[in-house]
Amino acid sequence: MSIKSNIEYVNELKNAAAEKSGRTGEDVLLVAVTKLHSPEEINEAIDAGVTDIGENKVQEILDKYDKVKPVRWHLIGHLQTNKVKYIIDKVCLIHSVDSLHLAKEIDKRAAQHDLTMDILVQVNSAEEESKFGVTTEETDQLIEDIAQQCPNVRIKGLMCIAPFEENPDDAKPYFAQVKKIYDKYAAKKTDRIDFSYLSMGMTNDFEAAIEEGSNLIRVGTAIFGYRDYRSEEK
Ligand SMILES: *Cc1c(COP(=O)(O)O)cnc(C)c1O
């Protein structure tokens, strides 16, 4: 399967899932997750229509940035405070904000570049020890604190990584919890809290996530193949 046909297939599933939830495929943004994949592969995806790509490591963004065609870059993985300065002028959205400390550093660097940085608050609704993110109980406080203390940060929504489930429908309750918080803020937009992205769903569970209201999916494996076995497959 080529990258192009994989993207077509993902888009078909995305469209079908969106229709199930009373929307169209255009209401759901596909972010192609390109970690551990080469600039050549990424450019192939861009040629096939991908407009947004996601990386989970700052170093990979820096390594590939000049080799990849114009595209919107998303930082989707855990971000260390000391690395914010390297990507502040390169990414359009940081999906993984889970502390006021990190938000303040983003705010400081954004101010230095005279820009407003769009971020998502990462919610660990299943409260898995292995994952980053705030609990659903902590989410309101973090949103209020960022909105009050970080003038160069705009909170655009929420991000969630659900537990891996053999049957992705089993992840739906975790998505639903985050959707509920999303809806609350989407209904009361301010200039700092301006929700329009609910980032939920990966290769294994993006259809379930869309059915629960996600409007941004982060898909890697279904587009580029398995990361670990990639070199063997070729
Ligand atoms: C790797 C990654 C993805 C994509 O995972 P796939 O299972 O390959 O689709 C999505 N979100 C985050 C935060 C990731 O690190």
Render pLDDT for 167-226 as a digit per residue (tens, 0 to 9): 999 999 999 999 999 999 999 999 999 999 999 999 999 999 999 999 999 999 999 998
Query: Is residue 161 lining ligand 1, measured as CB closer than 6 Å?
Result: yes
Query: Is residue 219 lining ligand 1, measured as CB closer than 6 Å?
Result: yes
Which amino acid is residue 212, in one-letter code? E
Task: State in Å: Cα 100 to ligand 1 middle.
Answer: 24
In angstroms, the Cα distances linking 127 to 52, 64, 131, 156 are: 28, 33, 8, 22
Tokens 């969106």 belong to residue: 18
Query: Is residue 35 lining ligand 1, measured as CB closer than 6 Å?
Result: yes
Tokens 């995806």 belong to residue: 45
Task: State in Å: Cα 35 to ligand 1 middle.
Answer: 8
Query: Is residue 120 lining ligand 1, measured as CB closer than 6 Å?
Result: no
Render pLDDT for 23-39 as a digit per residue (tens, 0 to 9): 999 999 999 999 999 99
What pLDDT is recorded for position 228? 62
Average pLDDT over residues 88-99: 98
Render pLDDT for 110-169 as a digit per residue (tens, 0 to 9): 999 999 999 999 999 999 999 999 999 999 999 999 999 999 999 999 999 999 999 999
**Cα 126 from chain centroid (whole Å):** 17
Task: State in Å: Cα 190 to ligand 1 middle.
Answer: 30
Query: Is residue 202 lining ligand 1, measured as CB closer than 6 Å?
Result: yes
- DSSP tag of 27: G
* Residue among 13, 56, 75, 91 whose CB has most ligand 1 atoms within 8 A, to mutate: 56
As given in the structure block, the two tokens for residue 112 are 């230095």
Task: State in Å: Cα 93 to ligand 1 middle.
Answer: 16
Burial of residue 145 (number of CB atoms within 10 Å: 0-12, 13-18, 19+) = middle
Query: Is residue 162 lining ligand 1, measured as CB closer than 6 Å?
Result: no
Give one DSSP letter per residue of 82-125, joined into a string.
GGHHHHTTT-SEEEEE--HHHHHHHHHHHHHTT--EEEEEEB-T
Residue 232 clears pLDDT 60, i.e. is over it: no
